[in-house]
């Protein structure tokens, strides 16, 4: 019976876009996490797993990246396919070609498209015009690949997801939007502490709460980092000024002055807490060196799992 369920889940994912976690059922998300863990095991054991032999992934980058580019390029190679780097400046969309036209042309050449961009509408428009699966590598609204890798990492370290508490301290950005939806879908409780004016998007909060009601998870937004971190199993932080917000750096440093994740704040968490950060990190700013480089930090396991989670996404939908 379990094999039948797995086959049905595999079929449900084939040919799908991966734009936001809200588009996927809890069972489909857990299937992807389990697939990522299995592909990771195969890679570590040196087993060949060319599930996408002869297939090509086009990777559009309008935002530069370390982890996203390397993990997708290595991932498609390990799956037996090929990755093609496409800078936004090199494509005709950088000179005004409609995204719908670009989507239709690329679909004639490629088996899948990943895009890392600013406006979320660009990903939606690309997916609308493409006839091959489109993967959201990051937008200003959502970062589903990161969240999938994060929950894979938590599962590996904690042995479960349901009922755990994740505390996010910092800016209410694209990362926390996907973390909240992932928590809602997977039965994880999440508490988010942000300064006034830097809360997660109201629609993202509402959507997450609606889905959390179905799994028994809780979505809590507050101002006090101590309140968020109290009895938390996972503490998560991100930079205060994301790419494209560099002009706001000084203003944000003032607003987030009391939101550093440090040893003092960690006293409120569970003793066996794990610290996570999607990287790149600014040590001494959003997180102290003692925390990010300490024994509770799992940031590099988390970074590695971008490779395995994205391989699962590509293998499932391409």
Dihedral of CA atoms 180, 182, 187, 193 in degrees, nearest 10, equals -20
Annotated binding residues for carbamoyl phosphate, written as ranges, equal: 65-68, 92, 116, 143-146, 278-279, 306
* 222 noted as active-site residue: no
Choosing from 17, 140, 171, 238, which is the catalytic residue? 238
Please return the burial class of 47, using the count of CB atoms within 10 Å of its CB with bins 0-12, 13-18 and 19+. exposed
Whether 143 sits among the annotated catalytic residues: the reply is: yes
The question of whether 306 is a catalytic residue gets the answer yes
Cα–Cα–Cα angle for 199, 255, 20, rounded to 5 degrees: 30
Q: Which of 120, 177, 252, 306 is catalytic?
A: 306
Q: List, as residue ranges, the binding site for L-ornithine.
A: 174, 238, 242-243
How many CB atoms within 10 Å of residue 271? 7
- Provide the 8-state DSSP code for 91: S
Feature table: binding site: 65-68, 92, 116, 143-146, 174, 238, 242-243, 278-279, 306
Would you call 108 a catalytic residue per the annotation? no
| Pairing label, strands 112-116, 134-138 | parallel
- Kindly list the distances between the CA atom of residue 86 and the CA atoms of 1, 47, 69, 90, 244, in Å, as whole numbers in the listed order: 43, 30, 10, 7, 20
Decide if 140 is catalytic. no
| Active-site residue, from 30, 120, 143, 252 | 143
Give the number of other Cβ atoms within 10 Å of residue 231's Cβ: 12
The residue from 30, 43, 78, 116 that is catalytic is 116
220: annotated active-site residue: no
Catalytic residue among 78, 146, 207, 310: 146
Catalytic residue among 278, 302, 308, 310: 278
Phi, psi of 228 (to 5 degrees): -65, -40
Residues with catalytic roles: 116, 143, 146, 238, 278, 306
């Amino acid at each position: 019976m379990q094999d039948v369920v797995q086959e049905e889940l595999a079929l449900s994912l084939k040919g799908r876009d991966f734009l936001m976690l809200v588009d996927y059922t809890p069972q489909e998300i857990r299937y992807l996490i389990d697939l990522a863990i299995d592909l990771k095991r195969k890679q570590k054991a040196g087993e060949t797993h060319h599930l996408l032999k002869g297939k090509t992934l086009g990777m559009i980058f309008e935002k530069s990246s370390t982890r996203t580019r390397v993990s997708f390029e290595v991932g498609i190679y390990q799956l037996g396919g090929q990755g093609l780097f496409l800078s936004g400046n090199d494509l005709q969309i950088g000179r005004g070609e409609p995204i719908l036209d670009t989507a239709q042309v690329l679909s004639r050449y490629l088996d899948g498209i990943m895009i890392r961009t600013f406006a979320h509408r660009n990903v939606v428009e690309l997916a609308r015009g493409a006839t091959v699966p489109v993967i959201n590598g990051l937008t200003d609204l959502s970062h589903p690949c990161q969240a999938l890798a994060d929950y894979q990492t938590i599962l590996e370290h904690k042995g479960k997801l349901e009922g755990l508490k994740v505390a996010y301290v910092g800016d209410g950005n694209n990362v926390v939007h996907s973390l909240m939806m992932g928590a809602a879908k997977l039965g994880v409780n999440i508490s988010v502490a942000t300064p006034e004016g830097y809360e997660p998007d109201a629609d993202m909060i509402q959507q997450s709460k609606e889905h959390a009601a179905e799994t028994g998870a809780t979505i809590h937004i507050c101002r006090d980092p101590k309140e968020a971190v109290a009895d938390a199993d996972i503490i998560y932080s991100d930079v205060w000024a994301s790419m494209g917000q560099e002009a706001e750096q000084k203003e944000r440093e003032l607003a987030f002055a009391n939101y550093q994740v440090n040893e003092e704040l960690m006293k409120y968490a569970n003793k066996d807490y794990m610290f996570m950060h999607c990287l790149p990190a600014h040590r001494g700013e959003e997180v102290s060196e003692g925390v990010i480089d300490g024994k509770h930090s799992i940031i590099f396991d988390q970074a590695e799992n971008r490779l395995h989670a994205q391989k699962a996404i590509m293998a499932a939908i391409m």
